[in-house]
A and B are shown apart, each in its own frame.
Chain A
Amino acid sequence: MVQGKGVLMGKAGGIYHAAALNDFFKEVSYLALFTGRFFREVLPPPYELRQFIRQSYLIAFRSFPLVGITGFIMGLVLTIQTQPILTQFGAEAWLPAMVSLSLIREIGPVITALICAGEVSSSMGAELGSMKVTEQIDAMQVSGTNPFKYLVVTRVLAATLMVPLLVIIGDAVGLCGSFVGVNLNGNISLHLFFSKAMGTLNFSDLLPAFVKTFFFGFAIGLVGCFKGYYSSKGTEGVGKAANSAVVIASLLVFIIDMIAVQITSLFFSQA
């Protein structure tokens, strides 16, 4: 009997896993189709310039305080934790260079993108989801407006351009945090700190770190819009859309970062 039960449970588990796998591939294929539709609709007119500017402003405005505070704390904590170790090896003078490299190449872009995934992607998912539930997207369509162009294209483009800007702000504020951290246990002028921090940065550090942020922004905008645009009806659907937008966007940030590191090491391996 026990063996029989085990077989039954095994079968049920197998069916469950097969269904979950099926759902996963369905979701991936829908996301691919959604991405394809974005590229089909992005170039032909009409251009929703006002809506694009509004969305850009909202994304930057909404995320700026959190990105700023987090960036400052990141720089400060990184400096305070690293300082004793470098002091042990007599390499304290390397501190600004080490912090700037860590912040600009990796920590700044990834942490800022994760904040945007939480802030921007979830709000896009919830906003478009509730518009879908209350038939606002249908209303837009019957009033002769292409809702995909008006709602999705503008938001994805805005996120693609604003996330890199937020990363630059986050990095800059992070370096300021690091300057404060260095001065908590020592004394260094602002000019010397920044000349040491920037002096070690090469083209191969800045370019890949900057380019990947556009992909982060694109993924964050696309996933937020995708989950909201195709959310199931009802308030539960809106909640799920917002939640899964954050989860998938965060996961994509790490996947894109991993790919970016591979590509960077391929092109700039000697750097």
Chain B
Amino acid sequence: MDSHQTPIVVEAEHLRKSFGDNHVLKDINLRLAKGENLAILGQSGTGKSVLIKCMVGLLFPDAGRLLVLGKDVADLDDRGLDEMRMKVGFLFQSGALYDSMTVRENLEFPIRRQMRSKSSAEISALVEESLENVGLSEAIDVMPVELSGGMRKRLGLARTLILKPEIMLYDEPTTGLDPITSRGISSLILEVQEKYNTTSIIVTHDLECTRIVANRVVMLEKGICVAEGTYEDLRQSNDPWVRSFFE
């Protein structure tokens, strides 16, 4: 994808983030063009999740600049953050489903709060469409605790997609799932991208997911981007550390 012709939707420059003496992000620079699927690979604790949490204002960088849809996240007030979050969906590693609510109520929650003008019939239609997209129409009235791991991930995805975000951030979307369900989730991510023309960042260590989904891959090591390219480029890299990740 030629990033010079398509607009840049996420841009990080010299991003740093520390927790006490633990310097998680040391100097992150990356650009994400509209419509791109970027996978961020790296070992646990290298700051992948911290990076995408900064993008949605759950954490704030200590230094550097982070532009999301043209706005610096650090400069946004609460209202600005809420407006930005309507356009940026975040799929949590655990699904983060509200376990005191049914599947329907989980999906209605963001619409009722963000699209207050919608009627009950419109909300119901949106809920049904979202569940159909992820193949969970039959689970509409059950509690999240009754769902399997894969179904919970799909429901989390449906809840995130219901606001039709421009950017999707996936935090370990296939962790803890069997290979078949993982492939199903990866295909779903791709379908979503094609159907809604979303831009995605996928934080993962699942190489199969990366291969299926990503147009471009960035590798993080100790809070720094150490390699960047397509899946095949990195798989055949001359750098032994990068290559070892793919073996």
A positions within 8 Å CB-CB of B:
134-136, 138-146
Contacts and interface: CB of A to CB of B under 8 A. Distances in A.
A142 B97 contact: no
B93 A143 contact: no
Contacts of B99: 134, 136
Interface stretch (B18-26, B35-43, B82-90, B196-204): B82-90
A138 B58 contact: yes
A149 to B, nearest CB: 11
A135 B96 contact: yes
B96 A144 contact: no
A143 B85 contact: yes
Contacts, number: 48
A138 B92 contact: yes
Interface string B154-188: 00000100010000000000000000000000000
Contact of B86 (A135, A138, A140, A144): A144
B94 A144 contact: no
Nearest to B106: A139
Nearest to A139: B96
B98 interface: yes
- Which size bracket describes the interface of B in this complex? 20 to 34
A144 B114 contact: yes
B56 interface: yes
B113 A145 contact: yes
Contacts of B114: 143-144
For the complex, would chain B's binding face be called helix, strand, loop or mixed by DSSP majority?
mixed
Interface in B74-122: 78, 82, 85-86, 88-90, 92-94, 96-99, 109-110, 113-114
B94 A143 contact: no
Contact of B90 (A136, A142, A146): A142
B110 A136 contact: no
Contacts of A141: 57-58, 85
A142 B98 CA distance: 13
Given A139-B97, A144-B114, A145-B113, 10 more contacts: A134-B94, A136-B97, A136-B99, A138-B58, A141-B57, A142-B56, A142-B88, A144-B86, A144-B110, A144-B113
A136 B159 CA distance: 13
Nearest to B100: A127
B112 to A, nearest CB: 10
7 contacts: A136-B98, A139-B92, A139-B96, A141-B57, A143-B113, A144-B85, A145-B109
A105 B92 CA distance: 51
A135 B94 contact: yes
Contacts of B159: 143
B212 to A, nearest CB: 25
A230 to B, nearest CB: 15
A142 B171 CA distance: 13
Nearest to B53: A138
A100 B185 CA distance: 65
A139 B90 CA distance: 8
A135 B163 CA distance: 19
Nearest to A50: B112
A94 B159 CA distance: 65
Contacts of B90: 139, 142
3 smallest CB-CB distances across A and B, nearest first, come from: A139-B96, A143-B110, A135-B96
B93 A142 contact: no
A145 B99 CA distance: 17
A197 B57 CA distance: 59
A135 B98 CA distance: 9
Given A134-B96, A136-B96, A136-B98, A143 B109 contact: yes
A140 B96 CA distance: 9
A145 B113 CA distance: 7
Nearest to A141: B58
A144 B96 CA distance: 15
Nearest to B98: A136
Nearest to B90: A142
Contacts of A145: 109-110, 113
Nearest to A46: B113
A142 B56 CA distance: 7
